Amino acid sequence: MKLTIDTDINKSYTLPTDFYTSTEFYEQSKETIFSKFWQYAGDADDIGHSGQVMPTTLMKHFLDEPIVRTRDKDGKQYCLSNVCTHRGKIIVESAGTHQMLSCGYHGRCFRMDGSFKSMPAFETTEAFPSPSDSLHQLPLEEWMGLHFTSLNPVISFQELVRPIQERLSWLPFDTLTYIDEKSRDYIVNGHWALYCDNYLEGFHVPFVHEGLNNALAFDEYEYHLHPYCNLQLGVAKDGEPCFDIPKDSPDHGRNIYAYYYWVFPNMMFNIYPWGLSLNVIDPKAKDLTLVRFRTYQFKDTPFDWTANQIDITELEDEAVVESVQDGIKSRFYHRGRFSPTMEKCVHHFHQLIGKQMG
């Protein structure tokens, strides 16, 4: 089945249920979507000093790609394949400080930029070393004190996030500090894209989120589309927390409660007056998703009650997504239609999926 989405939202249908229930589509999305776009790789502070290394598995149980971030003696940062080019062993098993990367299996060594350094007992091996004996180097970008990488990017990171940077250039993103006690993971029994679908519209807020609905001026809720990201602009009711917005911003004079930015395919940058709630949506199975909430606070900006509201809202969203996961298995449901005014961002998301899935 083709996942063709009409560009005219007034005529378009949503993605068919097969996309959410088919193992074939789920597996296909690994290479056609996730390997080609940018993913959160960790915080820049993980390798804040020369010689530090931080191994991880990019999208564990999905892309399952072992990587390691490194910082050399000159302070330059790298993201490398963490698989030895000799026999495939994982090289760096845990975070630490090193002068070079050394495989614990047969002693092959690499410099901090991944280039081959040495290997015992290979003196007579012909045409050795070759470029393939060095570790593959992945792109690495730093933004907001966060690291992002991609296996095979089809778009530059700057192009991806430029709309956010331009609109919110006045915010002190360079002061964000990770708050562990305000961060947590959630397991959702539903397809990763169903979770994104739910996030991408405020249509459901009056029906699902009593607390959030009491804080937002629903009739002023806005949607803004960009090539690979979109924005939901939440306006605060009188007396609710809001930003102090400078005069050169297009939002000056408005009581903005939150900027809800979604970046294709699976990252959500929820920006509040107190800081950032980064949501990373990790597929684990076609009906199982890990949602990572990571909280970062602006310097000298206290938390307010909205930090607690986030947890309540998340649990309400989970219940809805899991109900939809059960519902789309019905023999009598195939696909739906879009509200042209309230589901612009969902339509945008479905178009991008249709395009990437061919």
One fold for both 39-149 and 169-356?
A: no
Beta strand pairing status for 288-297 and 275-285?
antiparallel
pLDDT at position 304 is 62
Question: If you classify domain 169-356 with CATH, what class do you get?
Answer: alpha beta
What is the rounded CA–CA span in Å between residue 140 and residue 197? 28
DSSP per position, 67-80: EEEEE-TT--EEEE
Tokens of 115: 């280039």
pLDDT at position 217 is 76
pLDDT at position 219 is 81
pLDDT at position 1 is 65
CATH number for region 39-149: 2.102.10.10
The helix (run of H) or strand (run of E) holding residue 61 is none
pLDDT at position 308 is 54
Q: Give mean pLDDT in consecutive 10-residue pieces for the chain, a chain of 358 residues.
A: 91 97 97 98 98 98 98 97 98 97 98 98 97 98 98 97 97 96 95 96 80 76 96 91 94 95 98 96 98 95 65 87 96 96 97 95
pLDDT at position 139 is 98
Domain boundaries defined on the chain? 39-149, 169-356
Between the alpha carbon of residue 114 and those of residues 93, 140, 348, the distances in Å are 16, 13, 38
Start-to-end Cα distance in the chain: 10
Please state whether the predicted TM-score (pTM) of the whole model is above 0.85: yes
